[in-house]
Amino acid sequence: MNVLSPAVAAPKTNAGLEPILKLAPVVPVMIIEDLKTAVPLARALVAGGLKALEITLRTPVALEAARLIAAEVEGAEVGIGTVLTAAQLEQCDAIGAKFAVSPGATARLLDAADSAATPLLPGSGTPSESMTLLERGYVFQKFFPAEPSGGAAYIGSLSSPLPAVRFCPTGGVTPEKAKAYLKLKNIICVGGSWMAPKHLIAAGDWAGITALSAEAAALGR
């Protein structure tokens, strides 16, 4: 009897994320400080080919920014990041988010995700954490923090013992480092913020952000 079979055969509770995560090789991780920049920033990212957008719950305007982007930016697939609690997952449902992202996973959060409308991309950082998520059907996982935890070499080493898992590494990822991740067979995409630097946002240089987004969208091809 193969004792690993139940884990591999578990319901794929976030399998519906695959089309969203495959929209582009990079998911922008957005920290929106000024609500006025939300829509033009999202439009610039989408124009460059990055349609799956993660708006992190790190500022007071994050949820309202997500609502505005979902309502006003054609082609944007709006996700909510830094989801830590069941209550925040409920907020994702309330605004109709297409996905939610957490830096890690707790039993309470995963229990809430079982009944949530918003599919969750939970975070893992060790084989044990990844196995725990896999037992609950999470074949798509965020790997965080990617670079401090060992980078592409570390994640690549997980491919053989954990062949069912595909990761979205986030944390310290740059364009050059993204190339190394995207060569790995257990990577579905990467998360990063380099295509929307603060100085371009402050300057309202949306064309510059679109150009950087187009470069990011072409990675791994």
Q: Are 39 and 69 in contact, with CB atoms under 8 Å apart?
A: yes
d(CA 9, CA 132): 13
Q: What percentage of the chain exceeds 90 in pLDDT?
A: 93
Residue 15 lies in a domain: no
What digits encode the pLDDT tens for the residues 116-140? 999 999 999 999 999 999 999 999 9
In a domain, 3, yes or no: no
pLDDT at res. 220: 81
Q: Which CATH number characterizes residue 38's domain?
A: 3.20.20.70
pLDDT, tens digit, 9 for 90 and up, residues 60-81: 999 999 999 999 999 999 999 9
- Is the peptide bond between 145 and the residue preceding it cis, with omega within 30 degrees of 0? yes
Distance between CA atoms of residues 164 and 84, nearest Å: 25
Asked whether residue 121 is assigned to any structural domain, the reply reads yes
| 205 has pLDDT over 50 | yes
Decide if 19 is inside a domain.
Answer: no
Tell me how far apart the alpha carbons of residues 32 and 198 are, in angstroms, rounded to a whole number: 10
Domain count for the chain, please give it: 1
Range of the domain at 134: 24-217
Helices (H), the chain: 5-8, 18-21, 38-47, 62-72, 86-95, 107-115, 127-135, 151-157, 175-182, 198-203, 206-217
Is residue 24's pLDDT more than 90?
yes
The answer, yes or no, to whether residue 10 has pLDDT greater than 70, is no
CA atoms within 13 A on the CB side of 11: 2
Q: How confident is the model at residue 195 (pLDDT cuts 50, 70, 90)?
A: very high
Active site residues: 54, 142
56, amino acid identity: T
Q: Is the per-residue pLDDT at 156 higher than 90? A: yes
The reply to whether 200 falls in a domain is yes
**Using 50, 70 and 90 to split pLDDT, how confident is the model at 169?**
very high
Residue 104 CA from chain centroid, whole number: 12
Is 18 domain-assigned?
no
Q: How far apart are CA 24 and CA 73, in angstroms?
A: 17
Q: Is the pLDDT of residue 11 over 80?
A: no
Q: Read off the pLDDT of residues 83-111 as tens digits, 9 standing for 90 and up.
A: 999 999 999 999 999 999 999 999 999 99
Nearest to 128 by CA among 165, 99, 156: 165
Give, as one character, the DSSP assignment of residue 12.
Answer: -
How far out from the chain centre does Cα 152 lie?
17
With 90 as the cut, is the pLDDT of residue 40 above it? yes
Predicted local distance difference test score (pLDDT) of residue 13:
74
Mean pLDDT of all residues belonging to the chain: 94
Q: How far apart are CA 140 and CA 123, in angstroms?
A: 9
Residue owning tokens 């064309």 = 207
Position 116 in a domain: yes
Instruction: With respect to residue 31, please indicate whether it lies within any of the assigned structural domains.
Output: yes
* Cβ neighbours for 160, distance < 8 A, ≥ 6 positions apart: none
Confidence check: pLDDT of 3 > 80:
no
